[in-house]
Structure 1
Amino acid sequence: MGGFDEMFDWVVVGSGAGSMSSALVMRKAGKSVIVLEKEPFLGGTTAKSGGVMWIPNNRFMREQGEADSAEAAITYLDALMATESAEAPGSSAEKRRAYVNEAPKMIDFLVDQGVALERGPDFWPDYYDELPGGCKTSRTVVAEPFNKKELGPWAKTLRKGFAEFPVRLGEAMKLNYIRRDPALKKAQLRIVWRTIRTRLMGQHYVTAGAALQGRMLKAALAAGVDFRIESPVSELIVENGKVTGILTQKDGKPWRVGGRLGVLVNAGGFAQNQAMRDRYMPGTRSAWSQTPEGDTGEMHMEMERIGGVLAQMDQMVGYQTTPAPGWEKIYVTPPAQGLTGKPHAILVDQSGVRYMNEGGSYELYCETMLKRNASVPAVPSWAILDRQYVEMYKVADKWIDKKVPAGWIEQNYLHRADSIEALARSIKVDPVALKATIDRWNGFVAAGRDEDFHRGERAYDSWLGDPYHGPNPALGTVEKGPFYAVPVVPGDVSTYGGAVTDAHSRVVKADGSPIEGLYATGVSTASPMGNAYPGAGASIGPSMTFGYIAAKHAAGLGNQL
């Protein structure tokens, strides 16, 4: 191994959550680590996200006296895989078992390194909780809110999150129902005063993904990890069939960095590369993605160039969104995850027909929309709401019952009419078809059961609905004018395909043999969850776990941690 400008034991490409967990393992083993990030900010898509990890049988569940087990989680994942018809080379029984067994250990390790974690909201069911082994409470783990001033001069390098104030994720979620529960107004005031107080004290708290990555960054810096920003990696260096390092830039010049134990690729997906989207998932748009601008897939191509196999490239972590005027100027595209899952709302295609359970997994929601669009125009689809809805819930994070935001009607984003037929004409949908769809839905609500798509029968549907609404939190009539319609498109929080890896996180060739010295995790890989999304945090959890697994394997630690 020669000709390198610098040498480290472990070279990590990208600064997402899996990079941090792997770096901490290597430093615990006494190995040198460098993390190379091409953007000016550290944290990757994780920092912009909710920062949720799906961790079955985790310590926080056990501490709260809740029974879970590896076998229950395996049963659930296997049952979910059985519902999928498409091949998923990134998933195998061995990898799923490795995940379920190692994920709780990864959490224990991070807590031991001083990373303050806690259970997510107690009620955040698995997305297919009706399957054997599914959890109807919560397998989620999140970070405690974090004062990013604790990072000192590194604070300015932490990528901005969507909730830059001292609030727990569960608290923030409850505020969606502020018009349903007067007590939540007091809760909101407490959060406001808490924010003011901490700012006056010179603190700057963040929550969700920014809190997770802030805490991970603090632990990694304290452990002696070397971080480099604005350091894009353009090449994996291969010598005698082994990946021995990478080519990056330093001070504007080529810079070769060697890795004695290997290279870990955790460089995100390709959500911001429209050419790759057109090739692998036509009909989707990078403009609808929640990912950072650097999510452009170069390392996917580089791993393929040296013999890696790309798979599941047509998959994304779909996250339905509604493109309200001005959305491109804000940090996060207005999500529509709960928009049509709440009472008094449905989703229809451009023929005016309802075609899915609006309360299901966001990944499945967008996948279903794209499949529907192949036969009936459904991108965008239309969220149909009534007066009951807008008096209780926001649309694109705005209250619209008393005052419609400027430009919403003028730019044909929001359509409003006194009758369903008039609303249909406004959105260029057959009035007869839309009226029949609404009448059929209202009949289901009256009967207490969605006969077409079974919305409201999962615990997760109830979670997306309204806990203050009964008898079914997900079902409510659309019958009181004025009526409203807004477009919904298949956005995403990441792509979900990439290099195929084995149970040790090694990138493998077409014959299944590993490429020596090359590991990968996160959405740079074909998801170990296959083509489905089992629950909240099913991309961050595996990223962190397989980063942890990769480092243990490369360092020869076995079960020593």
Structure 2
Amino acid sequence: MADATHTNPAPGGPSRRTLLRGAAVAGGALVTGAALGAAPARAAIEYDVVVVGAGAAGMTAALTAAKRGLRTVVVEKAPTFGGSAARSGAGIWIPNNEVILAAGVPDTPAKAAAYLARVVGDTVPVDRQQAFLAAGPPMISFVMRNSPLRFRFMEGYSDYYPEFPGGLPNGRSIEPDQLDGRVLGAELDRLNPSYIPTPAGMVVFSADYKWLTLSTVNLKGTEVAAACLLRGTEAALRGEKPLTMGQALAGGLRAGLLAAGVPVWLNTPLTDLRIEGGRATGVVVSRNGTQTVIKATRGVIIGSGGFEHSAAMRAEFQRQPIGTSWTVGAKENTGDGIEAGERAGAALGLMDDAWWGPAIPLPGEAYFCLAERTLPGCIMVNGNGVRFVNEGAPYSDVVHVMYDRNTPSAPHIPAWLIVDQQYRNRYLFKDIAPLLPLPDSWYDSGAAHKAWTIEQLAQRIGVPAAALRGTVTRFNGFATTGKDLDFHRGDSAYDRYYADPAVKPNPCLAPLWLPPFYAFKIVPGDLGTKGGMLTDARARVLRADGSVIPGLYAAGNASAAVMGHSYAGAGSTLGPAMTFGYVAANHIADTV
């Protein structure tokens, strides 16, 4: 685990970490770090609570603070609100919330605690785990009662380790219900766009994508596609602007802030924290070209996201190869809040980790693979042409294996997803319908390759032909028997979520036999980084000695994740982000 003492000296000069510390002003300075040398602040404004970041964590925190009677403002670096949450599928993992209990999910606090403890291990203090589990359900209830958001149970989306004690094969995740974007008025134009736009004329929920992938070969898939089209038609007839997934989540939270009278200042990046006598008493932002001090009489909550788009921070803290082009996180996430917290004395944790997932580096933007690597008729191989992982395993685990096993003699980055024409004939791939050709740009960029034999394909991607042929032959035998003796693909209920129920005996396994064959380059993508400021069970930011920095709170990817190095289920990013934003605001309100 990286921490606040980690350094990475640059040849011939001080490290970024040393420069950050050297910038801190002793003795209760007004501001630290980046603000030094800048034009002096020419304006001062006062609120009870200043929230940095208009993503899910920040907007939940701001809504909570406002409803507790605190004068609250949100400052956001981007010209849009919503951050990475708005780009996402918006699964939310919150055990024992009222939505899943009403749907009959057999959850209990004891089951949830046992499961989370097994998933997280000893990397996160028990009191933080308990705080998340205790505050999550009332947070969901609070959001529904103070915004237009409503939620749906994502039935069947298994916990990622359903075989663990307390794990649920039918899942605990929820997602936003359909929201009419007209509730946002002019603010709708300032909603951060989705990572993958919804097909025109359709209203699609995150849980629908599993079936849309199978819509040409599965009756339920066809029915789901028809239902998505019907929802879109009905919304159009009503004159609505339907939002789902991350668009609905961000839009609903913003609508709640509008109703509560909370200002959200866009294009207002954080310059630094205001620290007086060791206490966070406000922030310095750049607003309309002016360095502006915003005083916070009660507290500052950092919800500014991770550092996935900071090349310097990724190079310092994370394993190589790494870069900023493989992430799907919001482009404004460059670690500003984390660095400001560190300058104020915050300890850091989990900086080496991220919400990883196998990604294809397509031209323009990487594509985060979910169903594509689980569906029958595909395998993943390393640079030696050998399988190395259960392709259907939780996406974070797959990338951990890629890094753990990546060596010069056995390269695992990039890896390759190999499929045959039968696979392409049956399944949606990204947004490319079955039977339709892949874009030429995919081939031109090297992200995709195509050949009429396995041996030719091996040559094109630079792996040993005999090894790849042997790997395919062995896997085809497993597909015939339905048992993956090497990596147990299909044994877990999670593996089968994105599988094809029409394929027998194992819905995750089918032989690769029909030419032409395709290979897709696989790199370590992510939904965002998961390291940041260490916080306690009340979301207060901690120093390296465990003491609290008074007045300073963090939630979301600006803080070290309560999930540790693992991932409990769909929505393990957003669930804790919203929960600890809620916890932070309530603690401020409860503290005199």
- TM-score under structure 1 normalisation? 0.93
Give the SS at the match of 2:284. strand
1:318 to 356, 362, 384: 356
Give yes or no for contact 1:327–1:334 (8 Å, CA) kept in 2.
no
How far apart are the structure 2 equivalents of 1:147 and 1:557? 37
The answer to whether the aligner puts 1:151 opposite 2:184 as a matched pair is: yes
Give yes or no for contact 1:55–1:541 (8 Å, CA) kept in 2.
yes
**Corresponding residue number in structure 2 for 1:31:** 70
By how many angstroms is 1:469 displaced?
A: 2.2
Matches within 5 A, 1:396-475: 396-399=430-433, 401-475=435-509
Give yes or no for contact 2:457–2:518 (8 Å, CA) kept in 1.
yes
**Corresponding residue number in structure 2 for 1:481:** 515
How far apart are the structure 2 equivalents of 1:308 and 1:404? 48
The answer to whether the aligner puts 1:347 opposite 2:380 as a matched pair is: yes
Give the SS at the match of 1:533. coil
2:271 to 225, 234, 249: 234
Please identify runs of 4+ aligned residues in structure 1 that moved more than 6 A: 1-4
Give yes or no for contact 2:308–2:529 (8 Å, CA) kept in 1.
yes
How far apart are the structure 2 equivalents of 1:358 and 1:150? 42
Matches within 5 A, 1:72-471: 72-82=111-121, 88=123, 91-161=124-194, 162-164=196-198, 166-182=203-219, 184-185=221-222, 187-192=224-229, 194-195=231-232, 198-199=235-236, 201-281=238-318, 282-324=320-362, 326-328=363-365, 333-374=366-407, 376-399=410-433, 401-471=435-505
Question: 1:459-508 CA deviation, whole Å, 9 max, x = no partner?
Answer: 10000222332222212212232222111111111001000000000000
By how many angstroms is 1:347 displaced?
A: 0.1
Question: 1:316-370 CA deviation, whole Å, 9 max, x = no partner?
Answer: 101221123x444xxxx32222222111100001110110111011111122112
2:113 corresponds to which letter in structure 1?
I
Give the SS at the match of 2:186. helix
Give yes or no for contact 2:213–2:221 (8 Å, CA) kept in 1.
no
1:72 corresponds to which letter in structure 2?
K
1:138 corresponds to which letter in structure 2?
G
**Corresponding residue number in structure 2 for 1:14:** 53
Report the CA distance shift for 1:411/1:288 in structure 2 as closer, same or farther (over 3 A). closer
Range moving further from structure 2, 65-74 or 454-463: 65-74
Give yes or no for contact 1:96–1:528 (8 Å, CA) kept in 2.
yes
How far apart are the structure 2 equivalents of 1:228 and 1:288? 29
By how many angstroms is 1:545 displaced?
A: 0.4
By how many angstroms is 1:56 displaced?
A: 0.7
**Corresponding residue number in structure 1 for 2:548:** 514
**Corresponding residue number in structure 2 for 1:53:** 92
Question: 1:150-174 CA deviation, whole Å, 9 max, x = no partner?
Answer: 1112111111123455333223432
Give yes or no for contact 2:377–2:511 (8 Å, CA) kept in 1.
yes
Range moving further from structure 2, 304-313 or 160-169: 160-169
Give the SS at the match of 2:213. helix
- TM-score under structure 2 normalisation? 0.88
1:476 corresponds to which letter in structure 2?
A
Give the SS at the match of 2:273. strand
How far apart are the structure 2 equivalents of 1:315 and 1:199? 43
Give yes or no for contact 2:103–2:153 (8 Å, CA) kept in 1.
no
Superposed CA RMSD in Å reads 2.1
Give the SS at the match of 2:137. helix
2:136 corresponds to which letter in structure 1?
A
2:170 corresponds to which letter in structure 1?
T
Give yes or no for contact 2:449–2:520 (8 Å, CA) kept in 1.
yes
By how many angstroms is 1:246 displaced?
A: 0.5
2:404 corresponds to which letter in structure 1?
K
Give the SS at the match of 1:34. strand
1:345 corresponds to which letter in structure 2?
C
By how many angstroms is 1:125 displaced?
A: 0.6
Question: 1:416-475 CA deviation, whole Å, 9 max, x = no partner?
Answer: 223222221222211111111112212222232211111111110000222332222212
Give yes or no for contact 2:61–2:585 (8 Å, CA) kept in 1.
yes
Matched residue count = 547
How far apart are the structure 2 equivalents of 1:314 and 1:101? 28
Give the SS at the match of 1:234. strand
By how many angstroms is 1:273 displaced?
A: 0.8
**Corresponding residue number in structure 2 for 1:528:** 562
Matches within 5 A, 1:520-559: 520-556=554-590
Range moving further from structure 2, 178-187 or 125-134: 178-187
How far apart are the structure 2 equivalents of 1:6 and 1:409? 54
Give yes or no for contact 1:358–1:365 (8 Å, CA) kept in 2.
yes
**Corresponding residue number in structure 1 for 2:17:** none
Gap runs ≥5 in structure 1: none
Question: 1:515-543 CA deviation, whole Å, 9 max, x = no partner?
Answer: 00000000001111111111110011001
Give yes or no for contact 2:427–2:434 (8 Å, CA) kept in 1.
no
Give yes or no for contact 1:270–1:297 (8 Å, CA) kept in 2.
yes
Q: Using the aligned pairs only, state the percent identity.
A: 34
By how many angstroms is 1:272 displaced?
A: 0.6
Give yes or no for contact 2:91–2:206 (8 Å, CA) kept in 1.
no
Give the SS at the match of 2:358. coil
Give yes or no for contact 1:163–1:207 (8 Å, CA) kept in 2.
no
Give yes or no for contact 1:120–1:170 (8 Å, CA) kept in 2.
no
Question: 1:385-444 CA deviation, whole Å, 9 max, x = no partner?
Answer: 112211111334324645343344454443222322222122221111111111221222
Range moving further from structure 2, 284-293 or 407-416: 407-416
Report the CA distance shift for 1:186/1:545 in structure 2 as closer, same or farther (over 3 A). closer
Range moving further from structure 2, 303-312 or 472-481: 472-481
By how many angstroms is 1:301 displaced?
A: 1.2
Give yes or no for contact 2:368–2:526 (8 Å, CA) kept in 1.
no
By how many angstroms is 1:189 displaced?
A: 4.7
How far apart are the structure 2 equivalents of 1:59 and 1:294? 34
Question: 1:222-279 CA deviation, whole Å, 9 max, x = no partner?
Answer: 0111111011111111111111000112321111111111000000000011111111
Give yes or no for contact 1:386–1:484 (8 Å, CA) kept in 2.
yes
Report the CA distance shift for 1:31/1:294 in structure 2 as closer, same or farther (over 3 A). same
Give yes or no for contact 1:163–1:206 (8 Å, CA) kept in 2.
no
How far apart are the structure 1 equivalents of 2:442 and 2:253? 40
Give the SS at the match of 1:368. helix
How far apart are the structure 2 equivalents of 1:30 and 1:60? 27
Give the SS at the match of 2:590. coil
Question: 1:285-331 CA deviation, whole Å, 9 max, x = no partner?
Answer: 2111111211100211111111100111010101221123x444xxx
How far apart are the structure 2 equivalents of 1:186 and 1:67? 28
2:510 corresponds to which letter in structure 1?
G
By how many angstroms is 1:203 displaced?
A: 2.6
